[in-house]
Amino acid sequence: MKTLITGEQRAQLLANGRARAEAQAIDPQPVVRLFTPDAHATWLLAALDPEDGDTAYGLCDVGIGMPELGTVRLSELASIAGPRNQPIERDLYFVAQRTLSEYARLARINGSIID
C-alpha cells in the first residue's frame, strides 16, 4: 500500500486527533494536502484518529462542487486511482496558509478548495 503521509505529518495529525478526541476547541491548520493528479479531488487533512490511526479528518473535495468537512480513511485513499489510473499523491510543496475552518469557508463560497 502506498504511503500518503510522512512520519512527521502522521505525528502532527495524531496530536491534532488526540486534541479533537479530548473535545478541545481547536481549529488547526491542515497538515497535508492530498490530490488526484488526473481528476479534481483534493483532501486537506488536519487530524488523525488516535484509536485507529487510519481515519483522517479534514476538508474533502471530490470535485463535484460540494467540499465539506468530514472523515476519510487513509487506507482507502491509498487504494484509489483516478480516471487515467494515477494514484492519489501528496503535495510536496503544500504549506497551510489558514486554519481548516477558513479553508472550508472559502471552499464553500468557491465550490472547491482554492489553494
pLDDT of residue 1: 47
Tally of domains within the chain: 1
Is the pLDDT assigned to residue 115 strictly greater than 80?
no
In the predicted model, what is the mean pLDDT of the chain? 92
Report yes or no on 1 lying in a domain.
no
Report yes or no on 2 lying in a domain.
no
pLDDT tens digit sequence for 44-72: 999 999 999 999 999 999 888 899 999 99
pLDDT of residue 24: 82
Q: Could you tell me the pTM of the whole model?
A: 0.91
Report yes or no on 115 lying in a domain.
no
Is the pLDDT assigned to residue 99 strictly greater than 90?
yes
Expressed as residue numbers, the domain containing 68 is 7-110
Cell representation of residue 90: 501528496
Report yes or no on 52 lying in a domain.
yes
Nearest residue to 103 (alpha-carbon basis) of 49, 30, 37, 38? 30
Contact by Cβ (8 Å): 70, 57? yes
